[in-house]
Structure 1
Amino acid sequence: MGLLTIGAFARASRLSAKALRRYDELGLLPPARVDSFTGYRYYDETQLERARLVAWLRRIGMPLARIRDVCDLCASDADAAARDIRAYWAQVEAETSARRDLAAFLVDELAGKDTDTMSPLTTTPPPLGPLGPLGPLGIRYAARTDRGLVRERDQDAAYAASRLLAVADGFGDEGGAASTAAIEALRPLEAMVPGSVRAGDLLNALEDAALRANDAVRGLADSGTTLTAMVWTGSQLALVHIGDTRAYLLRGGEFCQITHDHTVVQSMVDAGSLSPEEAASHPQRAMLLRALDGGDGHARPELRLHEARAGDRYLLCSDGLFAAAPEADVRRTVEAVAEPDDAVRELIALAHGAGGPDNIACVVADVAAL
């Protein structure tokens, strides 16, 4: 096999010479030989397969560090490399879905408005059909945590008030302090007056609060927390979510999870390498991909807005509930028990009946016309 100049190799691989020099500096695609006198780079034709793979992966937006891992996998286990690409793309699609929801909301919010202003969220939304309100809405709520039957300490936190609903699941030696600090970082959002905050400003405030929560746990050694919270605007619920605490919605007889777990196991389910049934008993089911742990790389919360309807019921909970009790039993309780406080107690009893292996945090909130 002959050696190719960097220009010839660039044309054959569909990578620019500039990109090839960059990939050489990163150790991703070093040349086969570098002329010691001129510094010219020469590539072996056998490197074209790796180079073309790099080019394809760059086209789907994969970061260079992950591309290196995939390319290295290809050399030893092509199936594993394929699984990693599937997992990456599943993550992209999940993140794109959240951004799509936000984009759709912003389009609706701006459509028909003056081009130089964005009107604030109002306390009285337009009619939404048979399930929708014809006047202002309010929420009725309850929150509770429980140590469970196995853990020595309760590191979960739950909070419910007229403006803020939140659950957090702490981990590490100071997990209890981490979960409490995360929710406390959101408390200033309760001072926002419904109708006075623009949608974009509210989402920015939620993201800032999540970053403050991440800063708050930075001093807690080897500890962190998940967080799922909703801020009530008077007509909508703004959601911030990171980790594997969950939010569910019961609407019109349909019960569905509205958050996406940031876990290794969920990424495997997304990639098609694991079934939901297998995920429930997988030994890595609690391993998080994202959390508030004081670092910079993992603190990327999801943000979205949910239009509220009279009759909606929201459940926020930690894995001490949904990983222990069957979803059918959780749904049955959420549907059947009328009062939020009674529903929270019954859900915790469900987790106890399943062995109570973990701490349990629950918030139940009902949306009702005033």
Structure 2
Amino acid sequence: MRFNRGLTIALLACCAALASMPARAVDGQTMIITGEDYTKWLWGNQHTDGSVYNFTTVPGEGYGDNGQGTEIDLLIASHPSKNIEVTARLQSRFNQNQWTNYGGFGGRNPALENPPGGDCIGGDCGEFDPRSNEYIKMRGLTARFTPGFKWLDAATIGSSDLGMFDPYTIGKIRYIDRDNAKAVLFQGPLGSRKLTYDLIRVSLPRLFAGPNFNTGDYAGQDGAYGLQLKLNPSSLFDITGMYERVRDVEVSARDTGNNGLDNGRDLTSRFKNDVYGAKFGIHPSSKFDLRGLYYYSTADANPKLTPTSFGLSGFSPALAGKVSDPLYKANVDLNDPFGVGLSFNLEYFNIGAQYTSILAARR
């Protein structure tokens, strides 16, 4: 755990140093708010009005092909100084926010019903259900620092779609979840612009990034660390090295009682995942391109804190027990080699059955 704690402290120290930079306000307006609104009008012949969506697979969510609803998306951009940019979105939601709710007032309160009155459908719970009380959610809050250091181009704190890494290690978040991942990210050159780095600490999503779709009872310290080094010596060749370290920890069951009040409590590993490797590209001409990658992963799920199996038809983002496996991939692109408009793309891949990267790209 010393590696995790040491790196986390170093990242926090860098963030504190950046935050302490003098915020010299730029001339004129420092915050800009723009936005858009959208109105949906459903008029179908199935005559259902449980929601302003006509399909869902979520139990109790409600669906409908009739109804009217409006949502608004506010885009916020602020420049406290020339070195700091803050962006965010305020997003309302459709769901059961129909015009017929009349602003979401009233409605039945499920918490006071005995016997229970069933699912809140079609806005009938009004202000007592967040799906029909016209709530607004903060999305994509990000602060980006560009201090002008030779070794640091930018430090980003907050939401990230993780698109700067590789799909097989730390993958780009799918569009509908693009604001959900939160991280501290540092990017810049090492020595010269031919060698650059991406260094990140991502808080693990507690609802899926672990065995049995969770990260256990103690989630505040669970995180993934990634380091990517890119070398581009020329336009003909490039190579990238990657290391990913995931640690899901729990409070040790052996450290109980009042001992923690005196000297803290020990941690124990629930799930560990390490991935390392490299990828390269050879580009001798516009007609030929060769790319390849190799990654090796290890994963270890503690059998005392995670299921030892998931049954015959069970499923989990991570395998049970201690596993390891490599991944190989190669691509050859021939761009119109005969000058007749015919191109070829060849691919070979071999993904080991036990290859595991808990933050690899999802659909």
TM-score normalized with structure 2 length: 0.19
**TM-score of the aligned structures, taking structure 1 as reference length:** 0.19
Larger strand fraction of residues: 2
Higher relative contact order (CA 8 A, sep 6+): 1
